[in-house]
């Protein structure tokens, strides 16, 4: 049973517009959330994170929103650029987890059209 | 700059063969991880290690084992490869705090025939 789900496997958006990626989780023990970005033939790279004590975190064009009551987070990319075309993974960390074990979602492939 | 390297980018093996995947990090990280990535399933944790000679099972350890004899090196072993182990294998490392970022290697695409 997937504890972190990304229900949209793909997303296509025009350059300059907003990309919105969604992620849902089921485990209420998750208290730290991350987004990773992956290009083909490369490993994922960290993009942005948010702690459960916040409901928003912003870094340049990237903003992550957390709605704890709905167990939902989203990543907004504004404005979208062709270089943003990649697969985006949502991940979560649980209180008490050994090391910094992460649980990942299935990923959303984003295509930004010029 | 953090560097995580994996011994092979592409590997083709036959069913029943023993397979070794090697991962090396150069940042003196305490934690190291092995994931497999499959379409629609995202990254699933196979094993991780938080210190030399220490290991813990992840979510899908069946059919795999690991070895960490030195801090910088973490090996994933498929004792008897099977076709359902055809996948992209990703190694990652991080410092020991729970909120520390994981840094990933480029991945090894393993095909088991």
A25-71 pLDDT, tens digit per residue, is 999 999 999 999 999 989 999 999 999 999 999 999 999 999 999 99
Lowest-pLDDT range, A74-78, A107-111, B17-21, B26-30? Answer: B26-30
More confident residue, B51 or B18: B18
Contacting residues of A for B45, CB less than 8 Å apart: 101-103
Q: Which two tokens stand for residue B53?
A: 């000679």
Interface test mutation site (partner A, options B23, B24, B42, max chain A beta carbons within 10 A): B42
pLDDT at A99 over 70: no
Report residue B33 as tokens. 């991880």
Nearest CA in chain A to B5: A43
CB-CB contact of B106 with B89 (8 Å): no
| B40/A42 touch (CB, cutoff 8 Å), yes or no | no
Whether pLDDT at B61 is above 90: yes
Residue of B nearest to A43 (CA): B106
d(CA A20, CA A100): 27
For residue B109 the two structure tokens come to: 């695409």
Question: How many other C-beta atoms lie within 10 A of the C-beta of residue A22?
Answer: 17
């Amino acid at each position: 049973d997937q504890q972190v789900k990304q229900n949209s496997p793909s997303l296509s958006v025009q350059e300059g517009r907003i990309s919105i990626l969604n992620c849902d989780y089921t485990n209420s023990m998750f208290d730290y959330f991350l987004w990773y970005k992956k290009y083909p033939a490369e490993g994922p790279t960290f993009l942005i994170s948010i702690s459960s004590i916040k409901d928003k975190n912003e870094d340049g064009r990237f903003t992550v929103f957390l709605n704890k009551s709905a167990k939902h987070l989203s990543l907004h990319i504004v404005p979208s650029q062709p270089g943003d075309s990649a697969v985006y993974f949502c991940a979560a960390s649980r209180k008490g987890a050994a090391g910094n074990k992460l649980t990942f979602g299935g990923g959303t492939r984003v295509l930004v059209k010029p | 700059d953090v560097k995580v390297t994996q011994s092979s980018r592409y590997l083709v093996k036959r069913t029943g063969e023993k397979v070794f995947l090697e991962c090396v990090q150069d940042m003196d990280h305490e934690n190291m991880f092995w994931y497999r990535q499959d379409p629609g399933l995202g990254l699933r944790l196979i094993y991780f290690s938080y210190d030399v000679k220490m290991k813990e099972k992840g979510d899908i350890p069946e059919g795999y084992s690991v070895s960490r004899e030195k801090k910088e090196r973490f090996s994933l072993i498929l004792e008897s490869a099977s076709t359902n182990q055809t996948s992209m294998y990703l190694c990652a490392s991080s410092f020991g705090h729970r909120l520390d970022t994981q840094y990933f290697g480029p991945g090894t695409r393993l095909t088991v025939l």
